[in-house]
Amino acid sequence: MILGQTLFKNFTQNPKNDILAGITVSLAMIPEVVAFAFVAQIDPLVALSGAFIVGLITAVFGGRPGLISGAAGAVAVIFVDLIAKGHDKGLLFDSPIDNMGYFYLLAAVILMGGIQVAAGVLKLGRFVRLIPHPVMMGFVNGLAIVIFLAQVRMFSHKELQVGADGLKKYINIPMEGTELYTMLGLVGLTMAVIWLLPKLTTKIPAALTAILITTGIVVFGGLDVSTVGSYIIEGGGEGLKGEFPTPNVELWQNLPINLDTLKFILPYAFLAASVGLIESLMTMNLVDELTETRGNGNRECVAQGVGNITSGLFGGTGGCGMIGQTVININAGGRGKLSGIMMALTLLTFILFTAQYIEQVPIAALVGVMFMMVIDTFAWSSFRIIRKIPISDAVVLVIVSAVTVIFDLAIAVFIGVIVSALVFAWKNATMIRARKRMQADGTKTYEIWGPLFFGSIQSFNSKFDVKNDPENVEIDFIESRVSDHSALEAIFNLVNKYEAAGKSLKLKHLSEDCKALMYKASPKFKEVIIEDINDPRYYLAANPEEFTKPLSEYDL
């Protein structure tokens, strides 16, 4: 009985709030998922199916109740190039396949999920804590710019033409005249509704309402504009067919299982897996802060991976945690797994029964939704604070944003973390100090301040004067820590230099973890480390967690 009550409590603490929040999130997600489908140039039902599968599996098995996952733009933009190149590769087969990019996409999504499961099993989820705030700001800024550029491409037609070399290629032809002005007007109308409606009421999903209004004007006004249905047909599709997701048998019939396929999809799968986990774990951290609870990052990695593997097998696209929808869910009272499950089931309802209506949605409405998302995603505060933060952080922010746009999101985050780490190491390398004093018995003491690690050993070595020092020398580490092998090697070499000069070198006030590290490195350290239990400063250095008062309040 107690176990059942505990499981129910973890599933949902407030069923009413979770159910209503889940429905609200699904209504807000549908237009964005469909819009992301056009970013990646895939069938909207493929994106909706992926959002349903990934959302359901991560809601049930994920490590963060309240987190909403779906077909996110961060993953979609990575697969744009894969799909385009996949289409071109398919046309070169002995028996050309027009939609080959879609099958490469499914294979990449399955591989993406496998990489994410491995990351969770290896407990790599904890490393998201190492992402500095400037990197996160650069990440969202770059993501916003990438999504914006993808929308700009929607102001054109996609046509299949035969080139001079006889090969078929998709060509984008820009809009002109009345068509362009109509498109701009409908985009502006959609954005205006999304901006104005929340000022009147927050009980109605603004994005969905904007799409319904714009679609109504197009349908009842008889406007000749590009719609979801016409866009799919222009790209060689047959229109939307709402049906329950089932295993995609065509994937294995059309996908060549060989090393060439693996080499083609692996870079995209790895980048998508990395971006998906980064965005999911950053979203999880946000939920932790909003709810003052703690999620399980490694479990979330595994759930995201299993969700993507299943989505790929069932013909859906890849997904990850969605920051915007998660915030909507939390603000609407969704705290348990039930809210995510309800969101997924509502999406399934739309997949099964509203496909013919989704075809009538004008492309302009989806572009307007995405433009508003770009405005909401971009960290505008970065312009305000960029002159107030350290120059190194400002540089990292700009670099991450630029690399995201030029290359991709995952590489940008990796470069940002590496640059931030190098800046941190450089700053700490210059912080090490040594105060020298002579004791009454003629012993010279070097009191070290600052971390001793690979970056600071050169400065550390320069503090000592082996040739002119007296016979007895002590190094006091009460304000320092021995951090890595480079530091151990530097101390070991210093001990040997003093011994070679016929002098004695002793080390004192080392913390317990530092001593354990040094004893393990070499038995010789046991001869030079002072275990002075009569010195009260020793206790402070060895067990700092036992002392909570300022240093000045202790009688040393």
**Statement to judge: residues 487 and 347 lie in one domain:** no
Q: Are residues 353 and 492 in the same domain?
A: no
- For 395, the 3-state DSSP assignment is helix
In a domain, 409, yes or no: no
- CB atoms under 10 Å from CB of 207, counted, come to 26
- Residue 384 within any structural domain of the chain: no
Domain for residue 413, yes or no? no
**69 shares its domain with 158:** yes
The total domain count for the chain is 2
Q: What is the mean pLDDT of residues 169-186?
A: 84
Counting runs of H as helices and runs of E as strands, what totals does the chain give?
24, 8
Give pLDDT, residue 555.
45
pLDDT, one tens digit per residue, over 105-162 is 999 999 999 999 999 999 887 776 677 888 878 877 887 887 788 788 778 876 666 6
The confidence score (pLDDT) of residue 189 equals 95
Number of CB atoms found within 10 A of residue 378's CB: 20
Final residue before a domain boundary, out of 357, 377, 397 = 377
Q: What is the CATH number of the domain that holds 498?
A: 3.30.750.24
Does 400 reside within a domain? no
Q: Residue 362 has what DSSP assignment?
A: B
**Residues 332, 33 contacting (CB under 8 angstroms):** no
Which is more confidently placed, 241 or 398?
398
Question: In what helix (H) or strand (E) does residue 180 lie, and over which residues does it extend?
Answer: helix 177-200
Nearest of 84, 71, 369 to residue 206 by alpha carbon: 369
| Choice among 90-94, 346-350, 446-450, 459-463 with the minimum mean pLDDT | 90-94
Distance CA(508)–CA(496), nearest Å, equals 17
Kindly state whether residues 444 and 326 are assigned to the same domain: no
SS3 content of the chain, % helix, strand, coil (to 5): 65, 10, 25
Residues 160 and 82 in one domain: yes
Residue 106 is assigned to a structural domain of this protein: yes
- Give 269-280 pLDDT, tens digit per residue: 998 898 888 888
Q: Is the same domain home to 367 and 434?
A: no
pLDDT attached to residue 57 = 94
pLDDT in tens, 194-221: 899 989 887 777 777 888 899 999 999 9
Residue 13 lies in a domain: yes
How far is Cα 132 from Cα 278, in angstroms, rounded to an integer? 12
* Residue with the two structure tokens 């048998």: 249
Q: For residues 373 and 434, state if they share a domain.
A: no
Residue 396 and residue 140 in contact, taking contact as beta carbons nearer than 8 Å: no
Domain boundary among 377, 401, 418: 377
Instruction: Give the CA count within 13 Å in the CB-facing half-sphere of 402.
Output: 7
The reply to whether 169 and 254 lie within a common domain is yes
DSSP β-ladder status, 472-482 and 444-452:
parallel
Q: Are residues 264 and 134 in the same domain?
A: yes
User: Do 214 and 72 fall within a single domain?
Assistant: yes
Same domain, 164 and 244: yes
List the one residue out of 282, 281, 293, 203 whose CA is nearest residue 13. Answer: 293
d(CA 271, CA 112) in angstroms, rounded, equals 8
What pLDDT sits at residue 1?
A: 47
What pLDDT does 168 receive?
62
pLDDT beyond 50 at 541: no
Q: Phi/psi zone of residue 172: left (φ > 0), alpha (ψ -120 to 50 degrees), beta?
A: beta
pLDDT of residue 233: 63
Share of the chain above pLDDT 70, in %: 87
Same domain, 300 and 178: yes
Range of the domain at 64: 2-377
Closest to 214 measured CA to CA, from 250, 185, 251, 248: 185
Burial class of residue 186, CB neighbours in 10 A (0-12, 13-18, 19+): buried
Please check whether residue 393 lies inside any domain of the structure.
no
pLDDT mean over 286-309: 87
404 lies in a domain?
Answer: no
What values do phi and psi take at 168, rounded to 5? -85, 135
Dihedral pair phi/psi, residue 235, rounded to 5°: -85, 5
DSSP output for 10-26? HH-S-HHHHHHHHHHHH
**Which candidate, 205, 272, 201, 204, places its Cα nearest to that of 31?**
205
- CA 463 from centre of chain: 43
Where among 358, 377, 396 does a domain terminate?
Answer: 377
Token representation of residue 154: 């929607």
